[in-house]
Amino acid sequence: MSSTLRIAILVGSTRTGRNGEGVARWVLDRASRRTDATFELVDLADHPLPHLDEALPPRMQQYENPLVWEWSRVIDGYDGYVVVTPEYNHAPPAVLKNAMDWLYHEWTDKAVGFVGYGAQGGARAVEQLRLVAGELRLADVRTAVGLSLYDDFEEFRTLAPRERHARDLDATLDEVVAWSGALATVRAARAVSAA
C-alpha cells in the first residue's frame, strides 16, 4: 500500500456540453495545492461502460467485459473519491449510477465526498448518491459543495463559484483525505486477514 493517498475526482456526466468537466477541473485546481494527497481526474467519458448486464453480482468480481475489468483496475487504485455530479430530474445521471453499480469491493472501505451542481445545487442527486455509497460501504463525508446554475455559473455555462464554495470544497477535501487515511488501515487489516 502506498504511503501517499490517491484521491480520484470523478466526472459524473458524459453529456455533450456538460458543465461537469469544468467543475472537476476547479476541484482539481484547488486540490492540487494540497500536500496531504495526490488528486487525479477520472472521467466517465473515458470509460464507456455498458448498462449493468452481467449475470453474476459485482461482489463476486467475475466480470466478463474487458471494459469492466479496466474500470475495476482504475477505481481500485484510489484511496478515496470526490464525485462531481449534476442533477437530472431530481437524481444523479444514470451513467454515474451505472458506473458505481458495476463494482463493489473496489469501492469498499474508502471515503467519498460530493460536489453537486444544478438548479438546486445538485442537492437531490447528492442525497441519492449518499444512499448508494452506504450500500457500497463507502464512507460519505458530511460536507459537500452545491453549485447553483443560477448563481455560480455565467450564462449557465462558465463556472464562477461564490467564495463560500471554496471554503466548502476545502472542508470536503479535508474530510475525504482524513477518512481516506483512516480507512486505509481498515483495508490493510482486511488484506492481512484474507491472506
pLDDT of 3 over the 80 cut: no
Q: For residue 172, give the C-alpha cell.
A: 470536503
pLDDT of residue 1: 41
- 19-53-91 Cα angle (round to 5): 35
Q: Do 81 and 109 form a contact (C-beta atoms < 8 A)?
A: no
pLDDT of 24 over the 80 cut: yes
Mean pLDDT of 63-84: 97
Tell me the average pLDDT of the chain.
96
Q: Do 93 and 86 form a contact (C-beta atoms < 8 A)?
A: yes
pLDDT of residue 2: 47
Q: Which of the four pLDDT bands, split at 50, 70 and 90, describes residue 50?
A: very high
Closest by CA position to 21, among listed 80, 87, 86: 86
Give CA–CA dist 20/129, Å, rounded.
Answer: 16
pLDDT of residue 65: 95
- The domains of the chain, with CATH numbers, are 6-194 (3.40.50.360)
Mean pLDDT of 155-184: 97
More confident residue, 194 or 37: 37
Enter the pTM of the model.
0.95
What confidence tens digit (pLDDT) does each residue in 97-141 have?
A: 999 999 999 999 999 999 999 999 999 999 999 999 999 999 999
Q: Which of the four pLDDT bands, split at 50, 70 and 90, describes residue 49?
A: very high
Provide the 10 A C-beta neighbour count for residue 71.
22
